[in-house]
Chain A
Amino acid sequence: MDLDRFKRFAYVLRVFFNFLFWVSILAATILLLGLIGLYFTDTVTLTGDTGSLSISYGPLGYEIAPELLIGIDATPVLIAIALSALVVAILAIPVFYQLTKILKTVEEEHPFALENANRLNIIGMILVLAAFAKEATSYYVLAVTVGLIDIPNLTVNYSLVDTSTVITGFLVLLLASIFKYGSYLQEEHDSTV
């Protein structure tokens, strides 16, 4: 891949991540306002004709019978969903921001800068944190939903960490240390005539 095509690819990715960055900010703002709204709302009672509710986690899906939903105050479930989504959006904002900054340096042909090593460090640490947060928020939403509707013979188990996300986080941290060494080599190269 020649340098111009690589830079164009970096530009496209940067535009995409920049879009996701603003979407995350917008989502976080809406969710925060929604949470404030739910705080001041007395109850959100389900009537049965408001549609169906299904719980899904991974490949498993469970359709809740509409008669089980009638008369239930759904406020705790809505708060749990909004709070979980808010945590995800808040964690995503710095990740997308740092990614756009990294891609900008790729476009400007100096990717091996010490700042990029620090940016990758931030992304790696957030991903490790997100690996715990993902499981915790999923457990919270499912536990509240199952507890509220009282579905027979269904329990929610807590898993401490999402393995794939935590491995990705550690790989990014490893990449950060490689970039740190890369920035040292770049500096040596730049100060050699």
Chain B
Amino acid sequence: MAIIVRLDRVMADRKMSLNELATRVGITPANLSNLKTGKVKAIRFSTLESICRELECQPGDILEYRAANLKG
């Protein structure tokens, strides 16, 4: 996927564990883990807002666009 989730990097910078962030944001650790590993299709603005609030960052710090390599 062209959108890369950089949640692990920001979490490491803030020294926050997955369980702690999941509790603060109000989603399950399993869902947060899926988000971190890029297994989800979409993220709600409300979830993104909560993550940015708890990690004191901007959406752009978490999400990164990378052009897909097209072969042909």
Contacts and interface: CB of A to CB of B under 8 A. Distances in A.
Interface stretch (A1-9, A146-154, A163-171, A185-193): A185-193
Nearest to B34: A193
Contacts of B70: none
Interface residues of A, number: 4
Interface of B: 27, 31-32, 34-35, 39-44, 47
5 interchain residue pairs of minimum CB distance = A191-B41, A192-B42, A193-B31, A193-B35, A193-B40
Contacts of A193: 27, 31-32, 34-35, 40, 42-44, 47
Nearest to B35: A193
18 contacts: A188-B41, A188-B42, A191-B39, A191-B41, A191-B42, A192-B40, A192-B41, A192-B44, A193-B27, A193-B31, A193-B32, A193-B34, A193-B35, A193-B40, A193-B42, A193-B43, A193-B44, A193-B47
A192 B41 CA distance: 6
B28 to A, nearest CB: 9
B8 to A, nearest CB: 15
Contacts of B43: 192-193
Contacts of B40: 191-193
Nearest to B39: A191
A23 to B, nearest CB: 43
A20 to B, nearest CB: 39
Nearest to A191: B41
A63 B39 CA distance: 71
A125 to B, nearest CB: 32
A193 B39 CA distance: 10
Given A188-B42, A193-B40, A193-B44, 15 more contacts: A188-B41, A191-B39, A191-B42, A192-B40, A192-B41, A192-B42, A192-B44, A193-B27, A193-B31, A193-B32, A193-B34, A193-B35, A193-B42, A193-B43, A193-B47
A193 B27 CA distance: 8
B43 to A, nearest CB: 6
